[in-house]
Amino acid sequence: MKNRLKEVIESLIFISLEPLTLEKIKNVLQEYPEEEVELAIKELLESYVTNERGIQIIQSAGGYLFSTSPEHDLWIKRLFKMERKAKLSSAALETLSAIAYHQPATLAEISAMRGVDSTHTLKTLLQKKLIKIVGRKKSPGSPLIYRTTDKFLAYFGLTDIKDLPSPEEISKILEKEKDIEEEESSVH
């Protein structure tokens, strides 16, 4: 019985184009106790880790999703005759990171943080649905306020907004930069 549940969940995840949340799985499988569903998911995930498979189930933007193994990138690109996937520009990335850490944020706040007018970059990010407008700020001019979307989480493989690189990780990077500089200066 439990095995069948596992297989049902596998089908549900397979057929979903967007990350399938635990909530949705539970809704669909309402006749089963929640603990049983959770256990089945756990077993399903484990079976994918232990078996030798080209595809995997990943957790992304608060849900489960099938993806290919990263090692197969080369051949998939060849199948689709693609050189490489388009990456975000560094301006877009910088703007996203400013929003992600200081959301909700207005255009003026984002521009001030970056020291650069970000009107255009925000437009691009909105088009890509990586950010969304969540309302207006109650301040002079009532400017629009922006937040990152679930698509943003999925794009970077984050489960939750709390998954963003932590302040510790960030200061680690900054420390590393410093170390490299010092090494360089000791060489010269």
Partner 1 sequence: MDASAIYQVKLEVFEGPLDLLLFLIKKKKIDINDIPMATITKEYLEYLNHKEKINLDREAEFLLIASLLIYIKSQMLLPREKVLDEEKDPRQILVDQLLDYQKIKAASLLLRKKEEDELQKWKRTALPSQFQEEETDFMEVSLFDLAESFFSLMQKKEKKKIRTIKGKEFSLEEKMKEIMAILKGNLFIDFLDYFSQQESFEEAFVSFLSLLELIKSRIVIATQKGPFQPIKVMIRQEAYVKRKP
The contact set with partner 1 (CB under 8 A) reads 17-18, 56, 58, 65-73, 76, 80-81, 85, 87-88, 90-91, 93-94, 96-98, 100-101, 112-117, 155-158, 164-165, 167, 169-170, 173-174, 177, 181, 185
Based on CB atoms, which residue is closest to partner 1, 2 or 120?
A: 120
Based on CB atoms, which residue is closest to partner 1, 40 or 64?
A: 64
Strand order across the 105-106 sheet = 105-106, 144-148, 131-136
Q: Name the pairing type of β-strands 131-136 and 20-21.
A: unpaired
How far is CA 51 from each of CA 45, 54, 60, rounded to the nearest angstrom?
A: 10, 10, 21
Based on CB atoms, which residue is closest to partner 1, 36 or 181?
A: 181
Smallest distance from partner 1 to CB 103, Å: 13
Smallest distance from partner 1 to CB 88, Å: 7
Based on CB atoms, which residue is closest to partner 1, 1 or 17?
A: 17
